[in-house]
Amino acid sequence: MGRMDARKFFRSFRYAAKGIVRTARTEQNFRFHLAAGTAVVIAGALTGLSAAEWSVILLLIAGMLSLELMNTAVERVVDKASPEWHPLAGQAKDAAAAAVLIYAAASAVIGCVVFLPKWWNLFN
C-alpha cells in the first residue's frame, strides 16, 4: 500500500467514526441500542457466557448498530431526494424501519435463548 493509499485508508476510519458520533448525537433509537448493547455486555460478563455465546451476542449487537446506521442513512437520502412527502419515499423509510424492527425482535429472542437457561439454573 502506497503512502497515498494508506492516507485514504485511514481517512475512511475517520469518516466512519464521524458517522457513528453524528448518529449517536441525533438518533434516539441508536442511543437506545447503544445502551441496550452495553447492558447486554455487562449481563454477559456477570453471567459467564461461553466463547460461542459471546460471538453470537457481539454479532447481534454489531448487526443491530449497523442496521440502525443504515436505517439512518436511508432516511437521510430519502429526505434529500424527496423533500416533499411522496408515497414511495414513505415506503422506503418504512421498509428500513421494519428491517430494524425484525432484527431487534430476533435479537431479543436469541438473547432469551442464550441468557434465560443460565439465569434459570443460577436461581434454581
Per-residue model confidence (pLDDT) at position 124: 84
Q: Which of 27, 53, 68, 75 is catalytic?
A: 68
Per-residue model confidence (pLDDT) at position 2: 65
CA distances from 65 to 34, 70, 88, 107 (A): 7, 9, 25, 12
Q: Say how many domains are in the chain.
A: 1
Over residues 11-65, the pLDDT tens digits come to: 999 999 999 999 999 999 999 999 999 999 999 999 999 999 999 999 999 999 9
C-alpha 48, offset from chain centre: 23
* Annotation says 75 is catalytic: no
Per-residue model confidence (pLDDT) at position 47: 96
| 3-class SS shares of the chain: helix, strand, coil, % to 5 | 90, 0, 10
Kindly give, in sequence order, each residue whose CB lies less than 8 Å from that of residue 23, ignoring residues fewer than 6 positions away. 30, 68, 69, 72
* CATH number, residue 119: 1.10.287.3610
Report the C-alpha dihedral over residues 106, 69, 76, 15, rounded to 10 degrees.
-170
Domain for residue 112, yes or no?
yes
Domain that holds residue 98: 28-123
pTM score over 0.85: yes
Q: Answer yes or no: is pLDDT of 79 > 70.
A: yes
Domain for residue 100, yes or no?
yes
Determine the Cα–Cα distance for residues 36 and 30; give it in Å rounded to an integer: 10
Q: Answer yes or no: is pLDDT of 1 > 90.
A: no
Per-residue model confidence (pLDDT) at position 42: 98
